[in-house]
Structure 1
Amino acid sequence: MKRRDFLKTTSALMGGTILYGLGQPALAQSEPVKGGTLIWGHSETTQNLDMHQTGTASTGRVLQNVHDSIVTVDENLTVIPNLAESFEQSEDGLTYTFKLRSGVKFHNGKNMTSADVKFSFDRCRNPETGAVNFEVFNAVESIETPDDLTVVVTLDAVNAPFLSRLAENGAGVIMPEGSGDVQGTTPIGCGPFKFVRREFGNEVELERFDDYWGGPAYLDRVIAREITEPTVRLTGLRTGELHMINDIPADRIAEIEGDDSLQVVSWFPLNWDFVNFNHEFEPFKDPKVREAFDYMIDKEVLLEGALWGQGATTASPSYPTSASYNSDLGQRPQDIEKAKALLAEAGYGPGELSVVFKVTTNYPYHVESAQIMLEWFRLAGVDASIEQLTWSDWLSQVWVDKDFQISMMNFFTLWEPDFLYYSLWNTEGAFNYRKISHPKVDELTAQARVTVDPTERAAIYKQVQQVIHDDTLDIVLWFRNGTIGAQPNVQGLDTIVHPNGSNLRFHKVWLAEA
């Protein structure tokens, strides 16, 4: 299955460390220059622009520059103040007091107060909002605003990850009071850039917000052009039509790294990928069938075939530097005969099981992965076919309607283990589009929420990973590398990647004079 000399860059990335690399800049770093419009070739299309409602990292990557959260994380993923100047937690773990920064302005000119925080939190936890992170606030008993710059959140039960869940814009974003109705089309925040316009499926335009509390950005504007086809994106960079792109085509990275006229930023990991089963599709109700599919896949060959080796295989989706990462897990090796035997035990002989693999063209390497896997499925006696969907159709059919049999997806920014395991594998999890309902997982993820000691919590999440693996609730494949290609005049690239490895921040990026 190998298709020539694949790129072998992952060996230096292992060992539990997130690594960032900046390729040799074609232009030496200069003093920041104010002005100019940066054209970014965005590898994905944005969807609903409401930061509470969107579940896509593609949209969040743009809105990261429009919104700010009440707290954030540093390079070590430690929670630190942001829109809150400081925060305190009571000894019993039930009360959180946030002191807000004075003078923070929203893009509509309004000063941020505690009323905006209360509005944002109440909106996120209101079931009618349809917020993907609603369960962050499940234990909230009351939200009080004793003055304009103080917010007191009281819980009715300990929720150990509460503060860290607020460090992501999804739950922790602060919107102006009463702005909910317009957030989906014209988002209003207090970030370094304000939203100007969006041509759906084409581009999003952002403009510098001069009254940003953290100091104005250097760039006048950022235009995110949505170009999902990798070759077209790379051509735009080479011709100078684009200042930068994310997701350099995996098979062209070495070529771009060797081009002295371009810059390359790379880091590990950007995201993790997994194969999904619909647990209400009759064959996949049987764990033997799910395990059989796991044995059909050669993860290393798939990594090379679809990603040209730009990543590292893993059996755990936990952030590789997280204390929760279960390093004892190992992926099942490819064993077609074992897969056939498991299918036979489940009552499926050769040709008696048919599956449709729904995959989105938003991620071209998912299409390639599915094409490779289908050959293995057929070797194991499974009648398999592929249905390629646009990103909007995949979200509608697979994510929302849960109308699929087998699929593939990747997730970004899930560095916080509660966000990862509760959202994706708990029966009530907001990201549980696979209809998984596993009593042990539900028990463990609920137990972790009331376990304050971080070592004990990490041990619980390791148990969750073991269950996911043993019962093949999904098939975790790999971590994928992140890459950015840029013109030589794009400066400040060492600041652009958020500590979570997914979001891109343009606040300190500038265009040097040629």
Structure 2
Amino acid sequence: MPRGVLPAVGIAAALSLALTSCSSSSGSAPGAAASGQGGGTLVVGVTSDPDTLFPWKATQFQAVNVLQNLYGTLTEFDKDLNVVPGLAESWETSEDGKKVTFKLRQGVTYADGSAFDSADVKSSLDKLMDEKTAAVARASLSSVKEVQAPDPNTVVLELTGPDAALPANLASVNLAILSSDDTEEELNAKPNGTGPFTLGNRVANQSISLVRNDKYWHDKPKVASIEFRVIPDESSIVSAMQSGNVQLAVFNDPLVAQTAQGGGVEVAKTPQLNYHVLQLNAQHGDLKDVNVRLAIQCAIDRKQVLDTAALGEGEVVGPITSPAYKSDPAKRPCPTRDLAKAADYLAKAGKSSGVTVKAIVSQGEYATSVNEAQNLKAQLAEAKINLDLEVLESGAFVDRWVAADFDAAVALNGGRPEPDGSYGRYFTSTGNLNKVAGYSSPELDKLFAEGKAATDQAARKAVYDQVAAELENNAAWIWLFSGYTYTATAAGVQGFVPMANGSLQFLRTTSVA
């Protein structure tokens, strides 16, 4: 596939599903595969231990990857990012777009054996919308006015207006449907989902094992169990693969991926929707001044960051990476590095002598972070901007990030095929991660509302172009580049499908000899 390009058909299909009926799932019918098929343990190498097992609060990539295999959602994505049925086997939207009726899949059970029904959906969505829950995807449900459960197999969402983004947003594990009987404390200790696997054993900072759920509603997983084995860095994971101790791993570092290739290990390269970014907190210190933020934007050569940290493997991007709504990185102040303009912006801010910005950096969540940070520091120094770096282990970084306890953060954020799901929670004034974003405006609130309400893809593209312009012209963050993931599989591993959103959901179709 061309660098950074994905089939737009998946996105278009997702939009067509948003306001029309959907009647059948892709793939086999529930229960079509016999229980007990396949076997063995697939060992997956990861660099960090999941920092939570509660899906509504998971932001760390490693946690999300585990939880996707334990929990179910009303809708799902297929391999091409089309929205397809999940726990809801069909849905229909009213003519005015203000009511969506879901017909739920019957015969589904949770890991503890309890039955799934509409009471669980209503309980989950009501709690997700409650600010006290502090769910990271609460903003994805901002159009939902009321959740009704008229019978055990039906759920009706009353909306404030049409919401073209809703079906795609519901596919996020951050909106997993939990049993109405469970609490956050209980689920952090023992997950109880409707997914293809259940929790086996966990040894903190060493491994977490999942066991095949033979009562899973869809095709049963091919392997009996999966072990996510924590190995501190990607190079060490390569060594473990070469010695036969790990069968699958997903790398971010292209150099590491090169060393993994060969000796029975195959590497597949997949362009990603996620984006590398220097997040700026516009509520802190000198960053409150848009001129300081614009100075930072103009002082950075994004291609140099990409070449230095990721060997040029990827492409410079603007805010929105969703293929159907992709931003043009040339349409920003200083599309190329301009130190003279950076100096002018600092002068406008009354900071000609320079500024210091403290930045947090994750070590362990993804491989290129420290190299990116060091390159950014070197470039900004030439513009009299001192990027004071604080390198943190993954869990500590996530804690600081969620608390918005930073001036700047060198980050890799997950991208989605639906831009509202990617950014509505960050850059609207009522977004539940707006504190983390550090920026909102009345104009952005208006634009995001228009983006939800529009049903025509061209009209939505025009809206999100305006969103991107608002973000870039105010240097809310400094978007850098999107890269690839590199999926390494040992001999005998078959059936894994890498996805552009980084999901490991197809571990359920993976077999190991």
Give yes or no for the alignment of 1:167 onto 2:157. no
Residues 74 and 499, structure 1, Cα contact 8 Å, conserved in 2: no
Q: Which residue of 1 aligns with 2:472?
A: 469
Q: Which residue of 2 aligns with 1:500?
A: 501
Q: Which residue of 1 aligns with 2:29?
A: none
Q: Which residue of 2 aligns with 1:354?
A: 356
Q: Within 5 A, what are the aligned runs for 1:72-221?
A: 72-171=76-175, 173-181=176-184, 182-221=186-225
Q: In structure 2, do the counterparts of structure 1 residues 248 and 412 end up closer, same or farther at CA, with 3 Å as the change threshold?
A: closer
Q: Which residue of 1 aligns with 2:3?
A: 13
Give yes or no for the alignment of 1:409 onto 2:411. yes
Q: Within 5 A, what are the aligned runs for 1:369-448?
A: 369-400=372-403, 402-432=404-434, 433-448=436-451
Q: In structure 2, do the counterparts of structure 1 residues 429 and 201 end up closer, same or farther at CA, with 3 Å as the change threshold?
A: farther
Letter in 1 for 2:292: V
Q: Which residue of 1 aligns with 2:254?
A: 250
Residues 248 and 484, structure 1, Cα contact 8 Å, conserved in 2: no
Measure the CA separation in 2 of the matches of 1:141 and 1:46. Answer: 33
SS in 2 for 1:207: strand
Identity %: 26
Deviation at 1:38, TM superposition (A): 1.0
Deviation at 1:15, TM superposition (A): 5.3
Measure the CA separation in 1 of the matches of 2:121 and 2:148. Answer: 10
SS in 2 for 1:52: helix
Residues 413 and 502, structure 1, Cα contact 8 Å, conserved in 2: no
Q: In structure 2, do the counterparts of structure 1 residues 178 and 207 end up closer, same or farther at CA, with 3 Å as the change threshold?
A: same
Instruction: Note the aligned Cα RMSD (angstroms).
Output: 2.3
SS in 2 for 1:38: strand
Letter in 2 for 1:506: L
Measure the CA separation in 2 of the matches of 1:504 and 1:149. Answer: 25
Measure the CA separation in 2 of the matches of 1:346 and 1:128. Answer: 38
Q: Within 5 A, what are the aligned runs for 1:295-334?
A: 295-319=298-322, 321-323=323-325, 325-326=327-328, 329=331, 332-334=335-337
Q: Deviations over 1:74-117 (max 9, x none)?
A: 34433222211211111111111111122112111122111121
Deviation at 1:228, TM superposition (A): 4.0
Residues 4 and 272, structure 2, Cα contact 8 Å, conserved in 1: no
Q: Which residue of 1 aligns with 2:244?
A: 240
Measure the CA separation in 2 of the matches of 1:293 and 1:264. Answer: 36
Residues 248 and 483, structure 1, Cα contact 8 Å, conserved in 2: yes
Measure the CA separation in 1 of the matches of 2:456 and 2:219. Answer: 37
Residues 436 and 473, structure 1, Cα contact 8 Å, conserved in 2: yes
SS in 2 for 1:120: helix
Residues 231 and 249, structure 1, Cα contact 8 Å, conserved in 2: no
Measure the CA separation in 2 of the matches of 1:194 and 1:108. Answer: 9
Q: In structure 2, do the counterparts of structure 1 residues 219 and 15 end up closer, same or farther at CA, with 3 Å as the change threshold?
A: closer
Q: In structure 2, do the counterparts of structure 1 residues 119 and 499 end up closer, same or farther at CA, with 3 Å as the change threshold?
A: farther
Q: Which residue of 2 aligns with 1:281?
A: 284
Deviation at 1:183, TM superposition (A): 1.9
Range with bigger deviation, 370-379 or 75-84: 75-84
Letter in 1 for 2:512: L
Q: Deviations over 1:273-332 (max 9, x none)?
A: 11111112231112211111112211111111111122111123322x224544763562
TM-score, normalised by the number of residues in structure 2: 0.88
Letter in 2 for 1:246: V
Measure the CA separation in 2 of the matches of 1:202 and 1:347. Answer: 51
Measure the CA separation in 2 of the matches of 1:237 and 1:121. Answer: 41
2:63 aligned to which of 56, 59, 62: 59
Letter in 2 for 1:500: N
| Structure 1 residues without counterparts, runs of 5 or longer | 1-9, 20-31
Deviation at 1:344, TM superposition (A): 2.0
Measure the CA separation in 2 of the matches of 1:17 and 1:481. Answer: 16
Range with bigger deviation, 221-230 or 299-308: 221-230
Letter in 1 for 2:430: E
Residues 272 and 500, structure 2, Cα contact 8 Å, conserved in 1: no
Deviation at 1:45, TM superposition (A): 3.1
Residues 59 and 398, structure 2, Cα contact 8 Å, conserved in 1: no
Letter in 2 for 1:250: P
SS in 2 for 1:13: coil
| Structure 2 residues without counterparts, runs of 5 or longer | 10-35
Q: In structure 2, do the counterparts of structure 1 residues 266 and 383 end up closer, same or farther at CA, with 3 Å as the change threshold?
A: closer
Residues 5 and 271, structure 2, Cα contact 8 Å, conserved in 1: no
Q: In structure 2, do the counterparts of structure 1 residues 248 and 396 end up closer, same or farther at CA, with 3 Å as the change threshold?
A: closer
Measure the CA separation in 2 of the matches of 1:392 and 1:255. Answer: 28
SS in 2 for 1:254: helix
Letter in 2 for 1:202: Q
Measure the CA separation in 2 of the matches of 1:150 and 1:241. Answer: 46
Q: In structure 2, do the counterparts of structure 1 residues 83 and 94 end up closer, same or farther at CA, with 3 Å as the change threshold?
A: same
SS in 2 for 1:158: coil
1:34 aligned to which of 32, 38, 41: 38
SS in 2 for 1:49: coil
Q: In structure 2, do the counterparts of structure 1 residues 406 and 143 end up closer, same or farther at CA, with 3 Å as the change threshold?
A: closer
1:486 aligned to which of 484, 489, 492: 489
Range with bigger deviation, 88-97 or 502-511: 502-511
Letter in 1 for 2:241: L
